[in-house]
């Protein structure tokens, strides 16, 4: 065996940390390694505890390309399985809901007990007497809950959830997400929006109100982007671009006080809101009307908080709602994001309206970010650019890149 | 969150194996028992599939389960009775994926599981 050690690429220039090698943002081999060595070895959010409260309740997600179903077994045990039928690979369950006492494949009807074992298959005698049906079971994954969220890991050797996330676990619990409820399509009622808005906006037409309503599938919003998942993540993790790229956000956030705190596998970013009224009508309306959910932690009431959980999970903590935004890499230059939003079960019409203003406002921020990420993704393909340097305000990006270097050795080594 | 609503016709997905093997097995078991075959014959299965519903299907499975009991108690047509019991056991295992089983059906299911475990 060779004892030659590969020399690690320098990660600092002068005093400034260096970004990741640009080649890592478009490399198909690196994409495959990231799926296996990062996403398949992490704890990934699968849903909210309320979605799997009763026996038979299930929720689904996708981890590292693996369809996953989390289901409450008849004995009350929470279990996570590959959501892939062992017969012809069809996905067993979709969305969220209750499957009763069994998971039944919609293709040929293979039927699994909620402990993952095969109960029976239609026309079972057609598989021959030697076919060992008792040996068929859905691969099972680790599952646990933290702060009202259900996490799954495909790695059988991974550390327990709380230990893996370390000190951020306590802060996650402080958000009281367990007391909130997922936002679903039924939460968006345009006529109520129009009726419930303050006088200043009563002129809003029904069509305009409907335009504020995003489409939701079982409480999840999916979007696909032509970016590497790390491009989107890098952008989320730093506020350095806010004054340039997001003028509206700069009016809302007290930028000099924007402060990231780094954890072992997480980042917590405090974004205090300004006291002064914005010049923009909608922003001013938000400032005037927003009030924290009763369940919301007092110390976060005057700020927007952004949380990153390794590898690609982001939590926007607003006083009136909490949104989870997850990366599901589909290819080196294709990423699906899954959003789950939570609101107070005691939400009033005013709160709902404020949440809608926030959603519209942050949709504009998202549009601005997509434009910026388009530009970055193009630039990362440059023949003349390999890596850049990071500002103090980009410390969370540097932290993220260090985690990537540790998780995928050689990620920086492309020529 | 949506709760699973079984489709009105989902139960039809259960029927092929019973339709394929049931009538022949029933003929042999009833013949061995010296019983009439008419009530459980092939035409009845076809009629159930064309015109029946989930409740009628479960009633039919109940009648077949009773036949399995009579066959196993009398000790005639042992192989045929065992095969029919296996097919019925699978029917009851598959059924919760397409319909709600009554306590009577659950008791029949448990009975067949026990019968096959102790054979």
pLDDT digits (tens, 9 = 90+) for A311-336: 999 999 999 999 999 999 999 999 99
Measured in angstroms, the CA of B75 and the nearest CA of chain A are apart by 23
Contact B96 A100 (CB under 8 A): yes
Mean pLDDT of chain A, nearest integer = 89
Confidence of residue A280 (pLDDT cuts 50, 70, 90): confident
Contact B97 A57 (CB under 8 A): no
From residue A265, give the alpha-carbon distance in Å to each of A38, A86, A336, B68: 12, 34, 22, 60
Confidence of residue A208 (pLDDT cuts 50, 70, 90): low
Identify the contact set of chain B against chain A, taking CB-CB distances under 8 A: 1-4, 13-14, 16-17, 20-21, 86-87, 89-90, 93-94, 96-98, 100
Nearest to B96 among A51, A57, A101 (CB): A101
Question: Where does A10-91 have alpha helices with state H?
Answer: 28-37
Other CB atoms within a 10 A radius of the CB of residue A157 amount to 7
- In three-state secondary structure terms, A320 is coil
- Measured distance CA(A8)–CA(B17) in Å, rounded: 63
Residue B114 · residue B68 · CB < 8 Å: no
Residue A252 · residue A220 · CB < 8 Å: no
From residue A48, give the alpha-carbon distance in Å to each of A100, A183, A261: 19, 11, 25
Residue A56's nearest CA partner among A99, A87, A19, A8 is A99
Residue A66 · residue A60 · CB < 8 Å: no
Residue B90 · residue A120 · CB < 8 Å: yes
- Measured distance CA(A78)–CA(A55) in Å, rounded: 9
Contact B17 A119 (CB under 8 A): no
Measured in angstroms, the CA of B97 and the nearest CA of chain A are apart by 6
Confidence of residue A185 (pLDDT cuts 50, 70, 90): low
Q: What is the pLDDT of residue B41?
A: 77
Contact B1 A125 (CB under 8 A): no
Residue A225 · residue A338 · CB < 8 Å: no
From residue A35, give the alpha-carbon distance in Å to each of A2, A176, A223, B49: 28, 30, 19, 47
Contact A97 B90 (CB under 8 A): no
Q: What is the pLDDT of residue B88?
A: 98
Contacts of B2 in chain A (CB under 8 A): 95-98, 218
Q: Higher confidence at residue A4 or residue A219? A: A219
Q: What is the pLDDT of residue A327?
A: 97
Structure-block tokens of residue A293: 């959910």
> What residues are paired with A341 via a beta bridge?
A323
Contact B1 A57 (CB under 8 A): yes
Q: What is the pLDDT of residue B13?
A: 95
Percent of chain A with pLDDT over 70: 89
Asked if A123 has any chain B CB less than 8 Å from its own CB, the reply is yes
* For residue A398, pLDDT beyond 50: yes
Q: What is the pLDDT of residue A194?
A: 40
- Measured distance CA(A38)–CA(A53) in Å, rounded: 29
Residue A64 · residue A78 · CB < 8 Å: no
Confidence of residue A15 (pLDDT cuts 50, 70, 90): confident
* For residue A130, pLDDT beyond 90: yes
Nearest to A96 among B1, B90, B96 (CB): B1
Contact A51 B90 (CB under 8 A): no
Measured in angstroms, the CA of A316 and the nearest CA of chain B are apart by 23
Contact A120 B87 (CB under 8 A): no
Mutate to test the interface with B, among A104, A105, A220 (most CBs of B within 10 A): A104
Confidence of residue A202 (pLDDT cuts 50, 70, 90): very low
From residue B44, give the alpha-carbon distance in Å to each of A189, B95, B97: 51, 20, 24
Confidence of residue A107 (pLDDT cuts 50, 70, 90): very high
Q: What is the pLDDT of residue A206?
A: 54
Confidence of residue A197 (pLDDT cuts 50, 70, 90): very low
User: Residues, chain A, total?
Assistant: 415
Contacts 24+ apart (CB under 8 A), A205-214: A212/A188, A212/A356, A212/A359, A212/A360, A213/A188, A214/A188, A214/A359
Q: What is the pLDDT of residue A2?
A: 41
Q: What is the pLDDT of residue B36?
A: 81
Q: What is the pLDDT of residue A135?
A: 97
Dihedral, A372, A328, A174, A343 alpha carbons, nearest 10: 80
Q: What is the pLDDT of residue A283?
A: 87
Q: Higher confidence at residue A134 or residue A207? A: A134
Contact B4 A98 (CB under 8 A): yes
Residue B2's nearest CA partner among A80, A189, A56 is A56
Nearest to B90 among A99, A102, A124 (CB): A124
* For residue A4, pLDDT beyond 60: no
| Tens digits of residue pLDDT in A346-392 | 998 888 889 989 988 898 999 999 999 999 999 999 999 999 999 99
Contact B96 A57 (CB under 8 A): no
Of the listed ranges A68-82, A84-98, A268-282, B84-98, the least confidently predicted one is A268-282
From residue B10, give the alpha-carbon distance in Å to each of A108, B29, B61: 12, 29, 16
* For residue A32, pLDDT beyond 50: yes
Average confidence (pLDDT) over A51-80: 97
Task: pLDDT tens for chain B, 119 residues: list them.
Answer: 334 568 889 999 999 999 999 999 999 999 999 988 766 777 788 889 999 999 999 999 999 999 999 999 999 999 999 999 999 999 999 999 999 999 999 999 999 999 999 87
Contact A109 B97 (CB under 8 A): yes
How deeply is A231 buried, as exposed, middle or buried, from its count of CB atoms within 10 A (0-12, 13-18, 19+)? buried
* For residue A77, pLDDT beyond 50: yes
Q: What is the pLDDT of residue A11?
A: 74
Contacts of A111 in chain B (CB under 8 A): 93-94, 96-97
**For residue A276, what are the contacts with CB-CB under 8 A and spacing of at least 6?**
none
ipTM attached to this prediction: 0.89
Measured in angstroms, the CA of A321 and the nearest CA of chain B are apart by 19
- Measured distance CA(B6)–CA(A102) in Å, rounded: 13
Residue A224 · residue A331 · CB < 8 Å: no
């Amino acid at each position: 065996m060779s004892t030659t050690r590969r020399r690690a690429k320098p990660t600092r220039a002068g005093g400034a940390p260096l970004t990741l090698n640009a080649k890592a943002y478009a490399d198909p081999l690196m994409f495959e390694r990231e799926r296996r060595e990062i996403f398949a070895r992490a704890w990934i959010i699968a849903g909210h505890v309320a979605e799997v409260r009763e026996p038979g309740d299930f929720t689904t997600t996708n981890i590292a390309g693996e369809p996953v179903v989390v289901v409450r077994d008849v004995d009350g045990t929470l279990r996570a399985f590959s959501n892939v039928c062992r017969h012809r690979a069809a996905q067993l369950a979709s969305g969220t809901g209750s499957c009763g006492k069994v998971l039944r494949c919609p293709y040929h009807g293979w039927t699994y007990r909620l402990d993952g074992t095969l109960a029976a298959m239609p026309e079972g005698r057609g598989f021959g007497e030697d076919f060992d049906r008792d040996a068929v079971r859905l691969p099972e994954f680790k599952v646990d809950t933290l702060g009202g969220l259900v996490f799954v890991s495909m790695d059988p050797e991974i550390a327990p959830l709380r230990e893996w996330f370390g000190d951020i676990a306590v802060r996650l619990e402080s958000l009281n997400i367990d007391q909130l409820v997922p936002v679903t399509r039924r939460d968006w009622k345009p006529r109520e929006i129009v009726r419930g808005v303050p006088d200043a906006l009563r002129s809003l037409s029904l069509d305009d109100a409907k335009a504020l309503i995003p489409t939701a599938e079982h409480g999840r919003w999916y979007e696909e982007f032509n970016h590497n998942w790390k491009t989107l993540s890098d952008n989320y993790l730093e506020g350095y671009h806010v004054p340039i790229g997001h003028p509206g956000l700069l009016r809302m956030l007290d930028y000099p006080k924007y402060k990231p705190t780094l954890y072992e596998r997480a980042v917590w970013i405090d974004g205090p809101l300004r006291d002064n009224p914005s010049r923009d009508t909608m922003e001013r309306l938000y400032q005037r009307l927003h009030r924290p959910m009763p369940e919301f932690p007092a110390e976060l009431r005057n700020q927007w908080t952004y949380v990153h959980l390794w590898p690609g999970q982001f939590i926007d903590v607003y006083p009136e709602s909490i949104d989870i935004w997850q990366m599901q890499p589909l290819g080196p230059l294709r990423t699906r994001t899954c959003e789950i939003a939570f609101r107070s079960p005691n939400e009033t019409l005013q709160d709902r309206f404020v949440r809608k203003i926030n959603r519209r406002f942050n949709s504009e921020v998202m549009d601005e970010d997509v434009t910026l990420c388009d530009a970055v993704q193009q630039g990362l393909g440059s023949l003349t650019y390999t890596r850049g340097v990071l500002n103090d305000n980009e410390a969370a990006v540097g932290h993220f890149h260090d985690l990537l270097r540790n998780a995928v050795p050689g990620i920086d080594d492309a020529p | 969150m949506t709760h699973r609503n079984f489709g009105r016709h989902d139960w039809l997905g259960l029927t092929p194996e019973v339709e394929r093997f049931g009538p022949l097995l029933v003929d042999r078991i009833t013949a061995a028992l010296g019983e009439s075959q008419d009530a459980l014959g092939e035409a009845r299965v076809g009629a159930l599939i064309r015109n029946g519903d989930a409740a009628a299907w479960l009633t039919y499975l109940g009648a077949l389960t009773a036949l399995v009991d009579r066959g196993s108690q009398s000790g005639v047509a042992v192989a045929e009775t065992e095969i029919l019991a296996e097919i019925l056991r699978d029917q009851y295992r598959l059924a919760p994926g397409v319909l709600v089983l009554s306590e009577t059906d659950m008791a029949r299911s448990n009975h067949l599981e026990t019968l096959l475990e102790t054979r």
